[in-house]
Chains A and B, each alone.
Chain A
Amino acid sequence: MIKATNITKVFGENTVLKNISASVKQGEVVAVIGPSGSGKSTFLRCLNLLEQPTTGEIFMNEQEITKEKTNKLEVRKHIGMVFQHFHLFPHMTVLENVTYAPIKVKGLSKEEAKKLAKQLLAKVGLTDKLDAYPNRLSGGQKQRVAIARALSMEPEIMLFDEPTSALDPEMVKEVLDVMKDLAHTGMTMVVVTHEMNFAKEVADRVLFLDDGVLVEGGEPESFFNQPQTERAQDFLAKIL
């Protein structure tokens, strides 16, 4: 469904991604893990072209999207993204946050968009907050709205960049549960996370990045039990 070949990303003098090749199949859940600064976010942001890879290609459904003339907005309509710090629109209510893109980008009518938004907000357990402004919500609630907002475009794939890292511990579960549900409905997902349990339980595959290099990848079972590389062993020893 989405495939990256030999992606390199350079910021000034700093090569942040080094020759990364990876692919995600339809319905697959891929967890991206690795130390801080290893390039996880940058990799994820290349997938929806928030960052343009310096070299290498990305294909979505066999179409190369890294071409100069690609309509980035068109590509992003099909790729949902959830950020660590939510980035909800603070001057819009929960319902407005979730209906905005369907109305403006997809051209849905207000009624259709509202209907869709209510379904999605029910799915993330927030039917009672439709008219609240984001600042009235807890972190976990905000992130669930952000997930509903990304889903409102009915994307084919969802990217998550450390969706629970900014949350108080007691709110992590409610967000992970929503993500688990989403995975069970067959959504294709790429999740950058420090939640190793989530990676173990939910992911079909784990990618381990270190210093801009895709060091190791595989099924969570084997990756967590028998990491092949020394770098992965070190990393796992530190965090588990």
Chain B
Amino acid sequence: MNLDFSQMVPYIPFMLEGIWVTLKFVSMSILVGFILGTILALCKITKLPILKGLADIYTSIFRGTPLILQLMIFYFAVPQLSGYDTSPFLSAILAFGLNSAAYVSEIIRAGILAVDKGQTEAAEALGVPYKPMMINIILPQAFKNILPALMNEFITLTKESAIVSVIGYLDIMRRAQIVGADIYRNFEPLLFAGVIYWIMVYLLTQLGKLVERRLRHSD
């Protein structure tokens, strides 16, 4: 075993830049996934069969096919069909955001259903319309209960984000491969990338715990 990080030193800034590049699309994807996931979850609990059906089909498709395939479709197939190039950045946000929305919608749906039915009745009895009832009363309680599950989803997304390297997006993973090819040593850059991912996930986990503690004030 002969690890030699000295050759890598000039590439460290290049690798570290990948953190920002990864975070940029991961955070956008989380945002897209969260907002769209909430909307899908609300569709799933309505009494309108059309909305419910569409949301269920959506979820089934995005959960039932590989993420890497979805990513490649957004990157290769969409430009072929539409004539517009989708940048790696946009493809990545679309694939990860839309995919995450499917998982997030299931988590949120379960969270909403777990809120005591008496809460809905109390709000209805006061004459509170559906929208403010959801936004102010049901969703805050649902989110509090599902925070650990949501955090898990975001962590998974952060780790899985490494597959964007296949469409040439210059994230941490891709940079590790480039450096590896440059210096003819793969292990060191991969190890370095691994440490970066691990630290990011660790920080995300801590952030989750912090938010959770904040929300616990009413328990």
Contact A105:B128 (CB < 8 A) given known A83-B122, A100-B136: yes
Residue of B126, B128, B136 near A150 (CB, 8 A) is: B126
With the chains together, A104 CA to B136 CA distance in Å? Answer: 10
A22 at the interface (CB under 8 A from B): no
Q: B15 CB to closest chain A CB, in angstroms?
A: 43
A171 at the interface (CB under 8 A from B): no
Q: B41 CB to closest chain A CB, in angstroms?
A: 19
Q: Inside 8 A of B144's CB, which chain A residues have their CB?
A: 91
In the complex, the chain B residue whose C-beta lies closest to that of A48 is B125
A198 at the interface (CB under 8 A from B): no
Q: A101-B126, A104-B136 are known contacts; what are 7 more A-B pairs with Cβ within 8 Å?
A: A73-B127, A77-B127, A87-B116, A87-B118, A89-B137, A105-B129, A133-B217
A13 at the interface (CB under 8 A from B): no
| Contact of A104 with B122 in the complex, beta carbons under 8 Å | no
A90 at the interface (CB under 8 A from B): yes
| Contact of A105 with B126 in the complex, beta carbons under 8 Å | yes
**CB-CB contacts of A79-123 with B at 8 A, as 1s and 0s?**
111010101111100000000110011000000000000000000
With the chains together, A91 CA to B140 CA distance in Å? Answer: 8
A230 at the interface (CB under 8 A from B): no
A149 at the interface (CB under 8 A from B): yes
Residues of A within 8 A of B (CB): 48, 50, 72-74, 76-77, 79-81, 83, 85, 87-91, 100-101, 104-105, 133-135, 149-150, 153
Instruction: Give residues 102-146 of B contacting A (CB, 8 Å).
Output: 116, 118-119, 121-122, 124-129, 132, 136-137, 140-141, 144
In the complex, the chain B residue whose C-beta lies closest to that of A100 is B136
| Contact of A80 with B125 in the complex, beta carbons under 8 Å | yes
In the complex, the chain A residue whose C-beta lies closest to that of B135 is A104
With the chains together, A48 CA to B136 CA distance in Å? Answer: 22
| Contact of B127 with A101 in the complex, beta carbons under 8 Å | yes
> B-side binding surface: helix, strand, loop or mixed?
helix
Contact A50:B121 (CB < 8 A) given known A104-B136, A133-B217: yes
Contact A89:B119 (CB < 8 A) given known A104-B132, A104-B136: yes
Q: Inside 8 A of A50's CB, which chain B residues have their CB?
A: 121, 124-125
| Contact of A90 with B141 in the complex, beta carbons under 8 Å | yes
In the complex, the chain B residue whose C-beta lies closest to that of A80 is B125
With the chains together, A96 CA to B50 CA distance in Å? Answer: 37
Instruction: Give residues 197-219 of B contacting A (CB, 8 Å).
Output: 217-219
Contact A133:B122 (CB < 8 A) given known A104-B128, A104-B136: no
With the chains together, A104 CA to B128 CA distance in Å? Answer: 7
**CB-based closest 9 A-B pairs:** A87-B122, A87-B118, A77-B127, A81-B125, A101-B126, A133-B218, A76-B127, A73-B127, A105-B127
A-B contact pairs, 18 of them (CB 8 A): A50-B124, A50-B125, A72-B124, A73-B127, A76-B126, A76-B127, A81-B122, A81-B125, A83-B118, A83-B121, A83-B122, A89-B137, A90-B218, A104-B136, A105-B128, A133-B217, A135-B218, A150-B126
| Contact of B127 with A153 in the complex, beta carbons under 8 Å | yes
Q: Inside 8 A of A72's CB, which chain B residues have their CB?
A: 124
Q: Inside 8 A of B137's CB, which chain A residues have their CB?
A: 89
Q: Inside 8 A of B118's CB, which chain A residues have their CB?
A: 83, 85, 87
Q: Inside 8 A of B116's CB, which chain A residues have their CB?
A: 87
| Contact of A73 with B218 in the complex, beta carbons under 8 Å | no
Q: Inside 8 A of A88's CB, which chain B residues have their CB?
A: 122
Q: Inside 8 A of A100's CB, which chain B residues have their CB?
A: 126, 128, 136
